[in-house]
Amino acid sequence: MTTTLFVLGNNGAGKSTALEEGLLPVLREAGLSAGTYNLYNLLLAMKQQGDRRIEPVFVEGEERGFFVCDTSAYAVLPARLEQVLCNAPHTRDIQIVEYAVQNPWEDFRGFSPGFLSPVFFLSLGTPARAVQEARIQRRNQDPTKHYLVPEVIERYSKPYEHILCSPEFQQAFSLDSQRITCLANEGNDKAIFVEQVRAYAWSLARLLLDGEETRDVLLVSSPSLCDLL
């Protein structure tokens, strides 16, 4: 059975860094196969399928992202993501979702009852505002990254992590508190943050391997989301 990990955080929390420099390298070293997903690519797939609620954004004449002109598109994301994960190949050891958090109560209601029960969560703390804004600015200056428009920045920049640790919230969505790990990333010390993520990744890898010998390294690339929707 494929394990699912949600890497939760808002803009500038370090989701991509945690994935690219912490989680995936450790999983490769442990010989575990992984597929990766995020909400941006899910919205992009919807746009490519002709969803008129999502329009392209151009920066200096080059398409660098999109604008959600009808916020009802956000409401379908949890159900679409669940569909993608259920349709994904079951040959992987783990599927990792970079999940940008807007409002956990609203977001999680969009999943089927019980879907989140076996999921692992790595929740990244909301950075200080100045740090958050600097990270977003660096991202928008990188032509290889999708451009974050003000609407998206505002939507996904609010603190949320205290809700995830609430027993009331965990009970409402049948979450296993033992599968929820909260990790701060409030400062500028990237090296310490990456090492903390790697330590978490090794703990998760040992749990998944459950005493098995390490297998040959295999990182499976994700299929087109359009094919899974």
Residues 213-220 have a mean pLDDT of: 35
Task: Please report the DSSP string for 12-68 in residue order.
Answer: TS-HHHIIIIIIHHHHHHHT--EEEEEHHHHHHHHHHTT-TTEEEEEETTEEEEEEE
**Are the C-beta atoms of 138 and 104 separated by less than 8 Å?**
no
Tally Cβ neighbours within 10 Å of residue 83.
16
Q: How confident is the model at residue 217 (pLDDT cuts 50, 70, 90)?
A: very low
Residues 6+ apart with CB under 8 A from 5: 23, 94, 95, 96, 97, 119, 120, 121, 122, 204
| pLDDT at position 14 | 84
Instruction: Assess whether pLDDT exceeds 70 at residue 135.
Output: no
Residues 21-28 have a mean pLDDT of: 96
Positive or negative torsion for Cα 140, 145, 149, 154? negative
Residues 36-50 have a mean pLDDT of: 86
| pLDDT at position 171 | 94
Sheet holding 34-38, edge to edge: 34-38, 94-100, 3-9, 120-124, 180-183
Instruction: Assess whether pLDDT exceeds 70 at residue 215.
Output: no
Residues 163-167 have a mean pLDDT of: 84
Instruction: Assess whether pLDDT exceeds 70 at residue 197.
Output: yes
pTM flag (> 0.85)? no
Instruction: Assess whether pLDDT exceeds 70 at residue 151.
Output: no
Q: How confident is the model at residue 228 (pLDDT cuts 50, 70, 90)?
A: very low
Residues 6+ apart with CB under 8 A from 130: none
Residues 180-184 have a mean pLDDT of: 87
Instruction: Assess whether pLDDT exceeds 80 at residue 180.
Output: yes
Pick 219 or 191 by higher pLDDT: 191
Find where tokens 């599927």 sit.
Answer: 95
What are the pLDDT digits (tens) for 89-115? Answer: 777 899 999 998 878 898 899 999 999
Tally Cβ neighbours within 10 Å of residue 172.
13
CATH superfamily of 3-211: P-loop containing nucleotide triphosphate hydrolases (3.40.50.300)
**Are the C-beta atoms of 42 and 84 separated by less than 8 Å?**
yes
| pLDDT at position 212 | 46
